[in-house]
Amino acid sequence: MSKITMYVTGSCPYCRMAENLLRAKGVQDIEKIRVDLNSDLRHEMMAKTGRRTVPQIYIDEKHIGGYDDLSLLDHKGELSTLLLQSDGV
């Protein structure tokens, strides 16, 4: 399964919804980077993604975007395929 990284805050409902969707797809490990605890990490997220809002989700090295983007991939039937791929395949 692919590596999942999410920039999150502790009180973000969209972060929880993204995590729930990923867990429903069988993802067990999610690296969460808490940008509300460290402003340097928020600046890092903004520099990498060009976005200010959370969550910001990566599947392996591919920036997916936020919860709406993740949900759209799921509705299009593309999320499961992305999750099963890995950088080494």
26-51 pLDDT per residue, tens = 999 999 999 999 999 999 999 999 99
Residue 37 lies in a domain: yes
The CATH number of residue 36's host domain is 3.40.30.10
| Domain count for the chain | 1
3-state percent breakdown (helix, strand, coil) of the chain, nearest 5: 45, 20, 35
Other Cβ atoms less than 10 A from the Cβ of 58: the count is 20
Say whether pLDDT at 71 is over 70: yes
Q: What is the pLDDT of residue 10?
A: 96
Residue 89 lies in a domain: no
Over range 64-69, report the average pLDDT: 98
Say whether pLDDT at 55 is over 70: yes
pTM for this model (two decimals): 0.91
| Residue 36: domain span | 4-84
